[in-house]
Structure 1
Amino acid sequence: MPKDTGIGASTRRREDVRFLKGKGEYTDDISTRDLAHAAFARSTVAHGLIKSIDTAAAEAMPGVLAVFTGQDFADVGGNPAGWLINSRDGTPMKEPKRPVLAHRKVRHVGDAYAAVIAETKQQAMDAVEAIEIDIEELPAIVDVKAALSGDNFVHDEIETNQCFDWGWIEDNRQATDEAIKNAHHVTTLELVNNRLVPNAMEPRSSIGAYKESGDEYTLHTTSQNPHLTRLLISAFVMGIPENKLTVIAPDVGGGFGSKIYHYGEEALVLAAAKRTGRTVKWTADRSESFLTDAHGRDHVTKIELATDADGKFLAFRTETYANVGAYLSNFATATPTFLHGTLMAGNYTVPNVYVNVKAVFTNTAPVDAYRGAGRPEATYSLERVIDKCARELGMDPIELRRKNFVKPDMYPFTSAAGLEYDSGNYDALMDKMLEVCDRDGFEARRKVSEAKGMLRGFGVNAYIEACGIAPSNLVGQLGSRVGLYDAATVRVNATGNLAVMVGAHSHGQGHETVFPQVVGEMLGIDPSTIEIVHGDTSKIPFGMGTYGSRSLAVCGSAVVRATDKIIAKAKKIAAHMLEASDSDIELKDGNFTVSGTDKSVSFGEVALKAYIPHEFPLEDIEPGLEETAFYDPANFTYPSGAYCCEVEVDPETGKVRVDRFAAVDDFGNVMNPMIVTGQVHGGLGQGIGQALLEGCRYDEDGQLLSATYMDYTMPRADDLPFFTVDHSQGTACTHNPLGVKGCGEAGAIGSPPTIVNAVIDALQSGGKNVTHIDMPLTPHVVWSAMNNA
């Protein structure tokens, strides 16, 4: 096998060939002879009682095949949250039903209350306009704190807008309060983690088909997690027997979390396919995506940091109001709790941490996991308050962090927030960051900026995150309603090529390149002979999809286990062929050799022999060469990093320009450096977008003010600098066979506080007494902060 194709090689992504040629197959590309189209009637008010819906005119329009309303789904189940969270007093969270179509009440602008199925998309859209609805408009609930007072409820049946009031770790509460009360210094910061719209390249799309002869359903959909979608539709939403429903996620053009979840449109096209006897397609337009895709972030937080006189951290205490929107999306309850609160000790030896999160229903689009999912929120709060503390104490912000880092000789280290970190070296990451960013040259660059009338600032951040959410027995105790393992099947064909069926799903991560690198390295064969199969529940035993940087750490470990089983069986076959004991067989460079001899057979010869077992001792060796493995991790993985950037701020306009950015990450063992670098670049772009540009805003009536690209600013190439990315400081994960930690979300976690810290540094260098600015730091926001200081 060529040395430039295995583990550690920057092999070019094989999937890019079809994408760059325009040969990818996305859900909306799929067409059938019997195709019909769905369109949805969506609420234009944020909160209101449905008094009546008249569909008669729509039903009579040309091409219309069926019209659905919420009444058609009144007796079916609702889409549940994936985690059951208990409040501090032990009471379970409030979990109102999330219907396929709104019934009796609409709860956010864009809430679908009816659907039309027609011969063409235009006919369906025209018929939607003919549906008449009488809505008694109610006051919209938008402000997350104000929602907890008064008697106006998003869900009247639960008689509150509070989903839960969660504390972590409740046993730490008194000690944390005491530490803050008695501390030498306490820094307090109130901040907002701004709401974001995911804006994947490909809008959501679903195609439902029904085969009456077998009472079988097929759903093609833009999903990061097709097995979960099948499970939710089968067990909770529609009651379809799981063996009668196949969910297929073909090429998916980005997800960033927003395509993990099940949405009502997926159930609707299946129901419509059965009623009409036609294949039914729906594809969102961009306006629908803005209104209905699960949004991200949206936390309002107060954080306190207590230190002694020398700057040693004594306690972090936070109170967060987490907006979950109008309905609970599938991971909405996990994101602000166990994916956020458990990271509130950061990279630090702080002995006391207490986190309180109040999850609140509002008349806005549902909020769920978005790239990083809870970890960006935790890192932003920690790294902003640490920077503020350093200024108040008159300490260098880097040295304050170093003073409190977990040190390499302290692992395994149990944080005050309850996680056990297995490996890391945060000082080494900081050292490398200072080296690659040329910190020593900063003051000279600042003088050059000042000569141009610009303010220059330097910002830094140290993050840690938890990836590959695990293990199942732990997350089950914490409230997860699903296991968080994964599965893989390795099938060796008689001619020696392989199909590897994986439970993870690739929508930009490069699985079709990296998984073959791993298997090819293990078997000593050319990765180009290995096909990766994913996204089809009929071909894969089970899987929990792709999110939380879990693909290699969890599914990749299942692939390793299945390949180990292949090797063990192949050695038995080779031993039979070579008339030796399987314990004497060695596998190297694709050949099975009897140890200490030159007797060998190739992997291809063994594969063929597996399917022509004329001389096998069948009591010892079954024909065929196919193995399946499930892998349930022993722990999270813990990527970490040190980031810094330099910005220029125009004091006349408030415009921020990111001039330099360095990201040094510990991702454990790296399988494909080029793909890892690309993942970091993408995350940095999204994080800088959150810090400077992106802001999802509703007015007091619940109308989305940023519902188009005219109003919601996405980062462009000219908003970003050339990045310096380094992942040479990896410390291997100790509990998965590949030693990997995950890289997909790091950039989005580490960049927002780095940018804001740099802007604050720039303003203070120019004599502006500004200690915090909430994201996004648009020119108007920065200019106003400078002039109001």
Structure 2
Amino acid sequence: MPKDGIGASTKRREDKRFLTGVGRYTDDINLRGQAYAYFLRSDVAHGRLTNVDISAAAEMEGVVKVFTAADFSAAGGLPCGWCVTDRHGNPMQEPKHPILAEGKVRHVGDPIAVVIADSPELARDAAEAIVVEIEELPAVINMKDAVKDGATKVHDDLTSNLCYDWGFVEDNREAVDKAIKEAAHVTTLELVNNRLIANPMEPRVAVGHYDRASDDYTLYTTSQNPHVIRLLMGAFVLGIPEHKLRVVAPDVGGGFGSKIFHYAEEAFVTYASKVVNRPVKWTSSRSEAFVSDAHGRDHVTKIELALDENHKFTAIRTDTYANMGAYLSTFAPSVPTWLHGVLMAGNYTTPLIYVNVKAVFTNTVPVDAYRGAGRPEATYQLERVIDKAARELGVDPAELRRKNFIQPDQFPYATPVAVEYDTGNYDATLDKALEMSDYAGFDARLAESKARGKLRGIGIAHYIEACGIAPSNLVGQLGARAGLYESATVRVNATGSISVMTGSHSHGQGHETTFAQVVADMIGIDASQIDIVHGDTSKTPMGMGTYGSRSLAVGGSAMVKATNKIIDKAKKIAAHLMEASDSDIELKDGQFTVAGTDKSVAWGDVTLAAYVPHNYPLESMEPGLEETAFYDPSNFTYPSGAYICEVEVDPETGEVEVLAFTAADDFGNVVNPMIVEGQVHGGLAQGIGQALLENCVYDENGQLVSGSYMDYAMPRAADVPMFAVDHSCVTPCTHNPLGVKGCGEAGAIGSPPAVVNAVIDALHRSGHKVGHIDMPVSPARVWAAMNGQG
């Protein structure tokens, strides 16, 4: 087999161009004659637009054209890709999301007008000459206040600020209420999942180009799913036939969910390029990204956990307010519902669960999927309330979890929240984490910290993920307005090299390396013979892109299906060349052999015969070797893991230092261990950032207080320890051909509760009976809690 096949820690081939500065990002694309767009955005959270005077700006030097909402009267609003039905059977309230503000502005950063000019500087200068008059209205920021009777409405044409009131599973509601009422013990916790700003390394960029000769449009954009952008923008916003619209997402420097969605800037530059008959480019500044990119999380929850006299979980009830922001972003409605509620069983055998979610419109930036999307919120609620219950009952938090784990002989396991886990071994990952973290030796480390005047704590969290959202027919019934399959075309060249065109998209995951490893392993050739093509709708089959840790589980499975078609056909050609039956042909290490004989023919000889068919079974097949496959999963995949965090707290300042972090994950089969480890490292850093540092804050007037890196604290190298990572506990997925489960979001899901649990543990061990501190667990919040001011 090839040395760089499945299981090898092959270095990422794409890193060579990134590290040598020759990557091709969207901002590197400059087209002949291009103009530049500058968006004039609202500095008011909520108000009526009474006057937008562009006359002075339009006359300024270098200005090509100034656009307002009136220029888009024929365009549709930005579409939402998921419609949630509430617990009463009614569809959610779905307001229009215009490209430019129509009549009202609804959040700071809402675009009002756009200047196109010969340079970015001229466009910005002209934007300052636009006269905007706004009749300011009260801003609606607090979600609970927003749904009170008489609250100011974000959208005047809606009945209220409540997008939907969702209950799941509604049939469980009365039984859950009864179980909690009759329980031997009930632990209640109210908590906040803090709003986050994704902040990928590369800000968003969009370049639109209209070719008057062919009547074709091209959009270059920083996107995680170019085919979905083409569909949404072409069909629902601008009315461009898909065959006349090409979307290209070149190298993309990180996404974390924030680049899944269709944004107004993409539609604008595409439309404007035809109007001004020039390519139009927009590049976001970092400060602009804070008020224009979709935010993440922002839930307020009350969770109740009921236990019997033997400490077995009997019921869970949650009530959540989920912030939608001012508009519905592409997949926003699904995040607090179908990506959150169905994970509330966690790793446990709780028989009764009821989840209520009230999604609320506020005068803030729209909220959508952010690394983990719903699953971190579910895990945080569950793992914090379990830890609190263990403390109330006086039992070890690891053992309380173990007592309630789903056991290996119970799989496949149908949860009370409508999903079925296929495989897992939660005791194994917990045991591995306890061993790696030296859990048994904690008391000695506690004493050492105490001798230095520091408080030490240890926190455990166990998580389960749901990756590769599927199947399409099910999610369609749940409100998805798109399929969730994936695609691949495998094209074998005459000399045996291969191009794989995938509908998945890489924005840091290493697809060009791992996808090539899979195909190389299947055929037995070197991975350098395989080229991975992605990110261009004119070159790849229709796919749904990359998010939700679906790349290998869904995209890779499509690739395997297409490659198997190639192998089947190649075996027939090889059989003809060797005058044998194709049922006797074996492929190994790039050689076709007749079983039980020494007859063989090389991969390259067979591929040449496919394209130079001088000796070829023409009567039974066409020449060539190229196949396409689509893969629609039959179920989610369910990675899981145990995380243990150890912290020290300075009692004088409340400062928290993460001393050690252990992650024992079950990702099913692993293609490239090094890349998996890197994915976990990145997720852990983001999760620790949420737990200790990051917080998106609005004041009562809707002004973003944390609107730059001066006020929004991103994790740095000094904020995280050297991680201890393991993925040796493997229970392969049973319903995809690779047996993989997904790893990209795990670290961000399991780490926040582990960190907060560790901080609470440190305070309790020093006599501070603090039940909870909301994230971010900043020094000020810790100090206040220790001193009775929380």
2:760 matched residue in structure 1:
760
Gaps of 5+ in 2: none
The equivalent of 1:35 in structure 2 is 34
- Rounded to whole Å, the distance in 2 between the matches of 1:619 and 1:640 is 51
Contact 1:74 1:103 in 2 (8 A): no
- Cα shift readout 1:403-440 (whole Å, capped 9, x = no counterpart): 10000000000011111000000001111111111112
Distance 1:660 1:237 in 2: 49
Query: Match of 2:732?
Result: 732
Give the secondary structure class of the aligned counterpart of 1:337. coil
Amino acid in structure 1 at the alignment position of 2:381: S
- Cα deviation per residue 1:345-404 (whole Å; 9 max; x = unaligned)? 110000000000000000000000000000000000000000001111111111110110
Taking the aligned partners of 1:53 and 1:244, their CA distance within structure 2 comes to 34
* 1:132 matched to 2:135: no
My pick for the range that moved more, 78-87 or 275-284, is 78-87
| 2:470 corresponds to | 470
Structure 2 counterparts to residues 313-712 of structure 1, below 5 A: 313-712=313-712
Residues 145 and 151 of structure 2 are in contact (CA less than 8 Å); yes or no, is this contact kept in structure 1?
A: no
**Preserved contact between residue 40 and residue 116 of structure 1 (Cα < 8 Å):** yes
* In structure 2, distance between residues paired with 1:617 and 1:426: 53
Secondary structure of the residue aligned to 2:638 is: coil
Partner of 2:88: 89
Aligned-partner residue type, residue 755 of structure 2 = I
Q: CA deviation at 1:159?
A: 2.4
Alignment correspondent of 1:119: 118
Where 2:690 maps in the other structure, the secondary structure is helix
Distance 1:16 1:251 in 2: 11
- Following superposition of structure 1 onto structure 2, how do residues 26-65 of structure 1 map, counting pairs within 5 Å? 26-65=25-64
**Helix, strand or coil at the partner of 2:753:** helix
Q: Deviations over 1:310-330 (max 9, x none)?
A: 110000100000001000001
**C-alpha deviation, 1:583, in angstroms:** 1.0
SS in 2 for 1:145: helix
- Cα distance in structure 2, aligned partners of 1:416 and 1:313: 13
Structure 1 match to 2:311: 311
Cα distance in 2 for residues equivalent to 1:196 and 1:782? 20
Structure 1, residues 33-63: CA drift from partner, whole Å, max 9, x if none? 2111000000000000011111011100111
Provide the secondary structure at the position in 1 that maps to 2:332. coil
In 2, Cα distance between the equivalents of 1:599 and 1:510?
38
Is the contact between residue 573 and residue 621 of structure 1 (CA under 8 Å) also seen in structure 2? no
In the TM superposition, residue 73 of structure 1 has moved relative to its aligned partner by 1.3
**In 1: Cα distance, 2:19 partner to 2:785 partner:** 44
Counterpart AA for 1:8: G
Alignment of 1:138-153 (within 5 A): 138-149=137-148, 150-153=150-153
Residue identity in the other structure for 2:373: A
Deviations 1:131-150 (A, max 9, x none): 11111000000001100012
- Displacement of 1:614 in angstroms is 2.6
SS in 2 for 1:158: coil
Q: CA offsets, 1:670-705, max 9 Å, x none?
A: 000000000000000000000000000000000000
**1:744 corresponding residue in structure 2:** 744
Retained in 1: the 8 A contact 2:224–2:546? yes
Distance 1:44 1:521 in 2: 55
Match of 2:14 in 1: 15
Distance 2:303 2:167 in 1: 14
Aligned partner of residue 749 in structure 2, secondary structure: helix
Q: Distance between the aligned counterparts of 1:52 and 1:610, measured in 2?
A: 68
The answer to whether the 8 Å contact 2:469/2:636 transfers is yes
Secondary structure of the corresponding residue to residue 143 of structure 2: coil
Secondary structure of 2:463 counterpart: strand
**Cα offset for 1:617?**
3.0
Query: Aligned equivalents of 1:241 and 1:51: distance in 2?
Result: 36
SS at 1:606's partner residue?
A: helix
What letter corresponds to residue 293 of structure 2 in structure 1?
A: D
Deviates more, 1:217-226 or 1:435-444: 435-444
* Alpha-carbon distance in structure 2 between the residues aligned to 1:62 and 1:618: 67
Q: Which runs of 4+ in 1 moved over 3 A?
A: none
Q: Distance in 1 between matches of 2:715 and 2:171?
A: 43
In 2, Cα distance between the equivalents of 1:167 and 1:320?
10
Supply the distance in 1 between the matched residues of 2:70 and 2:183 (Cα, whole angstroms): 59
What is the rounded CA distance, in whole Å, between the counterparts of 1:73 and 1:305 in structure 2? 51
Secondary structure, in 3 states, of the residue corresponding to 2:334?
coil
Q: Distance in 1 between matches of 2:147 and 2:74?
A: 30
Change (3 A) 1:151 1:782: closer
Cα deviation for residue 294 of structure 1 reads 0.2
Counterpart of 1:585, as a letter, is I
User: Is contact 1:572–1:621 with CA below 8 Å preserved after alignment?
Assistant: no
Distance 1:446 1:489 in 2: 56
Contact kept? 1:390, 1:400, Cα under 8 Å: yes
Unaligned stretches of 5+ residues in structure 1 = none
CA deviation after TM superposition for structure 1 residue 541, in Å: 1.4
- Aligned residue for 1:316, secondary structure, equals strand
- Partners of 1:545 and 1:263 in 2: CA distance: 16
**Counterparts of 1:120 and 1:232, CA distance in 2:** 29
**Residue identity in the other structure for 2:284:** A
User: Equivalent residue of 1:19, what SS?
Assistant: helix
CA shift at 1:74, angstroms? Answer: 2.6
Partner AA of 2:201 in structure 1: M
Once the 2 structures are TM-superposed, how far is the Cα of residue 465 of structure 1 from its aligned partner? 1.0
Asked if structure 1 preserves the Cα contact closer than 8 Å seen for 2:324 and 2:360, the reply is yes
Task: Determine the structure 1 residue equivalent to 2:265.
Answer: 265
Partner of 2:293: 293
CA distance, structure 1, for counterparts of residue 272 and residue 303 of structure 2: 49
Q: Which residue identity is paired with 1:130? A: A
Matched residue type, 2:622: E
> C-alpha distance in 2, partners of 1:640/1:418?
18
| Matching of residues 156-235 of structure 1 within 5 Å | 156-235=156-235
Matches of 2:346 and 2:580 in 1, distance apart?
A: 54
Rounded Cα–Cα distance in structure 2 between residues aligned with 1:9 and 1:26:
28
After superposition, residues 270-289 of structure 1 pair within 5 angstroms as 270-289=270-289
Alignment correspondent of 2:780: 780
How far off its partner does 1:528 sit?
0.6
What per-residue deviation string (whole Å, max 9, x for no partner) do you get for residues 563-618 of structure 1?
00000000111111111111111101100111111111111111111111133232
| Residues 577 and 616 in structure 2, CA contact (< 8 A), matched pair in contact too | no
Secondary structure of 1:427 counterpart: helix
Amino acid at match of 2:629: A
C-alpha offsets along residues 136-189 of structure 1, whole Å, 9 cap, x if unaligned?
A: 000000001100012411011012100000000101111111100111111100
In 1, Cα distance between equivalents of 2:525 and 2:151: 67
Q: Using the alignment, how far apart are the partners of 2:522 and 2:556 within structure 1?
A: 12
Taking only aligned residues, the RMSD between alpha carbons, in angstroms, comes to: 0.7
Give me the whole-angstrom Cα distance separating, in 1, the residues matched to 2:374 and 2:173. 21
Task: Please report the TM-score for the alignment, with normalisation by the length of structure 2.
Answer: 0.99
Structure 2 counterpart SS, 1:304? strand
Output the CA distance in 1 between the equivalents of 2:440 and 2:383. 22
Deviation of 1:234 (Å)? 1.2
Cross-structure match for 1:721:
721
- Helix, strand or coil: the match of 2:360? strand
Q: Which amino acid is 1:59 matched to?
A: A
